[in-house]
Structure 1
């Protein structure tokens, strides 16, 4: 004998109910001996509860009741449950007149869902020639007199079941109502929510069944609810002990009571998918898994009660008073956490018991509240409990830190004595994100990094292409899933929670207008974790959003150097917000494009190395210009025009020649040494003669030859074997509040490190106390879209490592 149990979603109108009938019919045709246990169909139980709530408030419920009736018999000509509908009519009418109902009445109302379900399946099976028999479990399962959560009387129930199945056996398929039973006075009782599983387990026990097959809408038990965690994995096998643990901590497919009758008789339980009958599901047996299991389960309909009181310090028995008062009022506590001082105690109870629990505790601690030994008793609704089954405390820091990084702050947490299970209370609106973050940390799957790219010009566009090209290989090697969910320019944005495609350039043209808040709302709506905002603009306006993005959970990566060169007050405020929200801001490309300059300076500075000077050629554009001009006998205007034509300069080359760009880079390095310099402190040698600084770009380009006389004179006045270099120089006493920042054109020996720079390379000399006159030299390509994009990409990967 096998017991088959079908849940409400399996029995819903449409595809579900036909699948159920097909499964039963197939098993009968294959000669299998089966018993079928059914839940109410679809959301029938919820519907009946909703109608009951309307009736007790004397609200109009007839329309909803008629819709319920219509759903139950739709598409099934010749099927009638008039008696059950009449019973409901009378019960709801009575509740409406009285304005009240008991748990006994509620059990009678809810029982009709299972009765209708079982009668319908019996009717359909008989039409198909299956010898089916409607079996009302109220005639079999006898319970105590507790309505709503009745406890079975085992001996009497077992006798009834054995007697019934002796009478209806052989080719008969007993179609049994789940969830419902009756007391010794033959009054309808129910076994509590998920009680249909309990009914099936009891029958399996009494009948010494070969296996209990629980058909649901999922293909087994997963490492997390697949509706909430897309990367959840199916668990092939579980032991009864592990299943019991999952059931206790809220796994919604299992019910803790279901496991016990099966353990007694060592009856396997298989969780199967009604809609994928070929899937073997999850098998639960007495056999233990060698490596144990890990899984996430959730309790959602709960509330958190906090009891706080400084006056309780050192008092013994506070928790005993709490439990005694709650137990006396039949209120169960599913989780507790408290400090050793008992100054603060957190309790998790069912959401429907929260108000009553608060009232009970206020009565118990009335005198303590009056004396202010207890300061306050509060209820926090809209919370959920996440339990990490099989989580060793020695590695719990990983998921916990990941939650904090994603701005999910647990309200409460505790662990079992074994140290293998940890439970967290989080706000319900953060549940989805929290589950994904934890799941990604405790299982060996790719951690998703969700990226928003602002600015998709040369650098931004190159970066996007680099990420899309490398993403699969990075996921394979580093188990990091880089997902670009947003690409934006100053006006439009392209959004896709699953990641943009290679066609993003054309797709973004069809994007929507946006404000920064729209991206934040999008990330919240889709529960996106591990957020990074990439600034590839040159915009001062966009840097105004940095603090907002940090506050909303984004790490920052920027090739835009503006933010680091604004007022020192903003510089400090941004760092303060980063520290407060535990976010990172990486900007290696701000000074040396793809060169490891800022990281090197940070490492030296943090290690206590005294940096005494930093100087070098900071601009790739000006490096090319003066390297070529110094080496070749050509006019300055000719070399400048060549640099413009090669795309080494901005369209208006005065943006390079004015020196502000080099000045900003020098200021960034000064601030890395904790100097409080402002941009106005920089001594900048503007390479543009005063008479050419005004007017449009075209006008300037027409007058390039006016530069020749100026720079030919400078070149000719050099010492022998010297060359021109436009440098940034940070010097002075760098232990004071401010350093000296010079940006200037200098003549250096051709044999020196600065003098040997070629092409458009940048070079940086870092002088320290330890190294004396021998600087640390960092040299390489200091400009170019591909190089800068690769540097930004490197910062992104560094962030994922820090995560």
Structure 2
């Protein structure tokens, strides 16, 4: 025999109950021997509780009751439910008159939900030609008299069940879940979700082949799919894991369901009424795989803290605390204890927290006077995430992921078996914490949420590169890149699920003015984890947002050089904020676009290598200018105009020719070596004749010929076989606080590496103590939006891989 249990949503009006009838009919037609256990239909139990509460206040409960009856009767007007409705009428009327009710009366009222459900389903099955029989579990399931949470009397119940099914086994018995009766035949209930317990007891007593629990989901998931979009169905669990899952709040299972099945080694299968083809989750005594199986959540909790320095070393304190909890029927789900200042934290239901605090204050009244107890307090609105199957040997991984996302648990503990870890969080952090842990543990794609500031040439190219590569990166690296914000100085486009390839049009139609706080608030509201802010602007003003972004959980990536070239004081302040918040700041493209220059220098410096000099061509634009001017017998203005026409320069070429950009890049490298130079200390040779440095761009572009005599003279005065190169050079005793920083035009032999530079390549020589006169050379494309964007993209992937 198989026991089929159907939940309330499965039995709801319309599609639900029709699916149930179809499932039962298929099994009967296939010759399977089955018995059915039902919950109350829809939200009947909650609705009855609400009506009970209204009636006890002598308010208008009758309207609610009529709505309840209408739903339960639905289109099945020929099914006689008058007896149950009459019971409710009388009980509610009595409650309304008295203005109160007992636990015994409440059980009688709540039991009607299952009675209605079983009667209705039985009638529908009979109408479909199935030999079904209504089975009131109060006849055979005997319990103690603890109303609201009754415990079955095993021997008599087992005997009754066996006898009942022996006499009625020819029919498909439709059994009321959740309810029983005491030895005086007074109705009792088994506690919320008790229908699962009824089903497992029947499976045990009848030695069933399998218990099939039909719900509204495909099985048990790695996390609640309503909270974690990437949650995956678990094909197989052990009874032990399922029991842990139930104890830590999984509502799909009753905490007592597993034990009767475990005793007889009866498999439990969780199935979806609405997706009958799915094989669900199978729970058995043996496991095919180990490791972490699922994340379970408990909500509506509070943390009661008892702190007392004077309690250190005193015996009996714990016993006093738990006596208070036991005497007041307060269940404690998690205990955390510290010895240094004798603190004990108890996680209890939020509804019981105040009572727990008051009763503990009474118990420890004398200890307050003696100063042994300092404080008893309550932290409301907490939630618990339990990692089922987690042992402490690998716990550092999810914990580190939480800290990286600025989520710090209030406390955590692990079970005696060492295979489950529970963490207590502020409820406001629950959703984000759950997604962070889930992404870290279950190998689903780690979601990286990116805000891109600046969508010009570099920013726009970067966004398109991300969108074009996202699917391949997710398959290859299990990293899901999600651009949730695109902004310029005026407006922002936000989409928590990621922007589309049509983002340019969308930002024009859906963009709106913003402050940085709006983007931070949006990320918090939608629980976005693994946040990265990418600065592709050239804005000094935007850099002022860096600290706020870091303090609110963003890592930083920047092609904007400003932050690293402001005052040394700001440079150090930003690093301190990054360290304090355990965030990263990557800016490989600040100097060499896509070239691995900064990483190389960092690695050398951190390894203790003494870097003695750095020299190179830092600007792709100026590389192009002087490489071509040196190689061709044409005026300087022609080469400059060619560079302008090809888009190699800034709109105002004086920004390139002035040398400040090269100076900033050189300063960034100096600061990577812990030098404290300021920008004003750089000796920069300005390539623009003094009389052309002021005025508007148009006037300047009309006077390019005035460069020619100056640079023809410089070119002609070189030694033979020499060429011109505009370089940055960092030299001096680099072990001191400051180095010598120069940006200058030099003449070098054409047969050297620097002299042989072609096109618009950047070129860097890194001289070190170990390498002597043979420098490390890094050369390649040092400019261009595609190259720079690809370098920024590389930083994003580097950060995504971290941890």
Q: Tell me if TM exceeds 0.5.
A: yes
Quote how far apart the aligned CAs of 1:750 are. Answer: 3.0
Alignment map for 1:199-238 (pairs within 5 Å) = 199-238=198-237
Instruction: Decide which moves more: 698-707 or 261-270.
Output: 261-270
* Cα contact 2:312–2:339 (8 A) shared by 1: no
Aligned to 1:29: 29
How many pairs does the alignment contain? 802
| Offset at residue 596 of structure 1 (A) | 1.0
Q: How does 1:168-183 map to 2 (within 5 A)?
A: 168-170=168-170, 172-183=171-182
Q: Secondary structure at the match of 1:705?
A: helix
2:126 corresponds in structure 1 to 126
Distance 1:294 1:285 in 2: 14
Task: Give how far 1:132 is off.
Answer: 2.7
User: Do residues 741 (structure 1) and 738 (structure 2) align?
Assistant: no
Q: Does 1:489 align with 2:491?
A: no
Q: Distance in 1 between matches of 2:644 and 2:458?
A: 18
CA contact (8 A) 1:730 1:741 kept: yes
1:47 aligned counterpart, secondary structure: helix
Structure 1 counterpart SS, 2:257: helix
Matched, 1:730 2:724: no
Spell out the pairing of 1:70-469 with structure 2 (5 A cutoff): 70-170=70-170, 172-289=171-288, 291=290, 294-341=293-340, 343-469=342-468
Q: What is the aligned-residue RMSD (CA, Å)?
A: 2.3
The answer (yes or no) to whether the contact 2:760–2:783 under 8 Å persists in 1 is: yes
Q: How far did residue 220 of structure 1 move? A: 1.8
Cα gap change, 1:288 to 1:614, in 2 (>3 Å): closer
Deviations 1:213-268 (A, max 9, x none): 11011122222222322333322233323322322333322222111112222222
- Residue number in structure 2 paired with 1:777: 777
Question: Quick check: 1:657 aligned with 2:657?
Answer: yes
What SS does the aligned partner of 2:345 have? strand
Q: Superposed, which structure 2 residues align to 1:459-608 within 5 Å?
A: 459-515=458-514, 516-608=516-608
Does the aligned pair in 2 maintain the 1:242–1:293 contact within 8 Å? no
Task: Give yes or no for the alignment of 1:45 onto 2:45.
Answer: yes
Shift of 1:525: 3.5
* Cα displacement (A) at 1:273: 0.7
SS at match of 2:279: coil
Structure 1 range deviating more: 40-49 or 286-295: 286-295
- Give the drift of 1:185: 2.7
- Segment drifting more, 293-302 vs 84-93: 84-93
Structure 1 position 43, deviation (Å): 2.0
Greater mean deviation of Cα atoms: 470-479 or 785-794:
470-479
Q: What residue number does 2:3 align with?
A: 3
CA distance in 1 between partners of 2:130 and 2:521 (Å):
54
Q: Does 1:788 align with 2:788?
A: yes
Q: Is the 8 A contact 2:177 2:194 kept in 1?
A: yes
Q: Please tell me whether the aligned partners of residues 38 and 196 of structure 1 are also in contact (alpha carbons under 8 angstroms).
A: yes
Tell me by how many angstroms 1:639 deviates.
0.9
- State the 1:163 CA deviation: 3.6
- The separation in 1 between residues aligned to 2:227 and 2:431, in whole angstroms, is 6
Output the CA distance in 1 between the equivalents of 2:559 and 2:454.
10
Paired residue for 2:718? 718
- Whether the 8 Å contact between 1:318 and 1:342 is mirrored in structure 2 is no
Secondary structure of 1:143 counterpart: coil
Question: 1:648-676 deviations in whole A, cap 9, x for unaligned?
Answer: 10111111112221122122222222233
- In the alignment, structure 2 segments of 5+ residues that lack a partner are none
Does structure 2 retain, via aligned residues, the 8 Å contact 1:4–1:35? yes
**Residue deviations 1:2-38, cap 9 Å, x none?**
2111111112222112111211222223332222111
Structure-1 separation of matches of 2:181 and 2:753: 94
What secondary structure, in the 3-state scheme, does the structure 2 residue paired with 1:453 have? strand
Distance in 2 (alpha carbons) for counterparts of 1:38 and 1:743: 83
Offset of residue 98 of structure 1: 4.3
1:762 aligns with 2:762: yes
Task: Tell me how far apart the structure 2 counterparts of residues 747 and 242 of structure 1 sit (CA, whole Å).
Answer: 74
Q: Which runs of 5+ in 1 are unaligned?
A: none
Mapped to 2, the partners of 1:775 and 1:265 lie a distance apart of 75
Measure how far apart 1:493 and its partner are. 3.5
Given that residues 6 and 214 in structure 2 are in contact (C-alpha distance below 8 angstroms), is that contact kept between their aligned partners in structure 1? yes
Structure 1 position 80, deviation (Å): 4.8
Within-5 A mapping of 1:51-70:
51-57=51-57, 60-70=60-70
Residue 279 (structure 1) shift: 1.5
* Deviates further, 125-134 or 93-102: 93-102
Answer whether contact 2:675 2:739 (CA < 8 A) is retained: yes
The alignment's TM-score, normalised by the length of structure 1, stands at 0.95
Greater mean alpha carbon deviation, residues 297-306 or residues 591-600: 297-306
Change (3 A) 1:580 1:42: farther
Cα distance 1:552–1:96, how it changes in 2: closer, same or farther (>3 A)?
farther
- Residues 114 and 178, structure 1, Cα contact 8 Å, conserved in 2: yes
| Partner Cα separation in structure 2 for residue 275 and residue 370 of structure 1 | 62
User: 1:152-189: CA deviations, max 9, x gaps?
Assistant: 1112222332343344331x222222112222233222
Q: Secondary structure at the match of 1:393?
A: coil
Instruction: Judge conservation of contact 1:612–1:731 (CA < 8 Å) in 2.
Output: yes
TM superposition shift of 1:315 = 2.2
Deviates more, 1:174-183 or 1:741-750: 741-750
Structure 1 residues 58 and 577 mapped into 2: Cα distance closer, same or farther (>3 Å)?
farther
The secondary structure found in structure 2 opposite 1:407 is coil
Kept after mapping to 1: 8 A contact 2:234/2:293: no
